[in-house]
Amino acid sequence: MKKILFVTLLLMVLSSLSAQGLYFGPQIGISHTSFIEKNDWDGTVEQSFKMGYQIGAAAELEIMSFLYVGAAVTFFNKGNKVVDEFGTSKLNLGCIDIPLTIGYKVPIGNLSVFGNIGPYTCVAITGKSIYHSEVMDEEFEHEVEFDPEFGYYKRFDSGLTFGGGVDFKQFQVKANYSFGFVDISTSEFVSMKNSVLNITGTYFFGRNF
């Protein structure tokens, strides 16, 4: 009985928020991730994009018919990939990513086209480094430590994200590019900043326009 009352109350609250222009829904996406990396020896390091994914939830608050504020909380797979004649190095970081954007929408028939921009915050919670040696034909992997004294990567990142997409009733598809302001390397000789291009799909419960 208590569970039924709780679910009923939750649905009533969500319906009330939706009536006020606040919508929630699940979000999934794919991404190309890399680092903008420089070192004191070779300058900028050439990298390949690494495929990643994200899954979580998003929300939008309609301020006016054409203006909105958006936010999301997702588990985001970030990292980088470096390929040379000796082998392939991959870094997989599992992060909690929280973007906060403001967007502008333009209706076109049954669709709305929009652009958005805003800051993001990211916290790395897990990581794994994998190296495949072409010379030895072996693969080595180890867990990433985020200890500021002994680890190689910093846990926290923040930066700017911007992009755009299309709305159709409850559905939204968008593409965003994000670049970090924080040097996530703990080394004095290497600089690394996140560079991410991602495409996401979101379903907003109760929205219909």
For the chain, the domain total comes to 1
**pLDDT attached to residue 195:** 92
Which has more confidence, 200 or 151? 200
Chain segment 146-160, per-residue pLDDT in tens? 776 677 888 999 999
Residue 17 lies in a domain: no
Q: Which residues contact 153 (CB under 8 A, 6 or more apart)?
A: 93, 124, 127, 144, 146, 184, 185, 186, 192
Residue 166 lies in a domain: yes
What is the value of pTM for the model shown? 0.81
Residue 6 lies in a domain: no
Say how far apart CA 131 and CA 13 lie, in whole Å: 49
CB 3 within 8 A of CB 160: no
Phi, psi of 30 (to 5 degrees): -125, 160
Residue 176 lies in a domain: yes
Torsion angle (degrees, nearest 10) of CA 18, 55, 79, 95: 70
Query: Which CATH number covers residue 111?
Result: 2.40.160
Which domain covers residue 31, as residue numbers?
23-203
Residue 12 lies in a domain: no
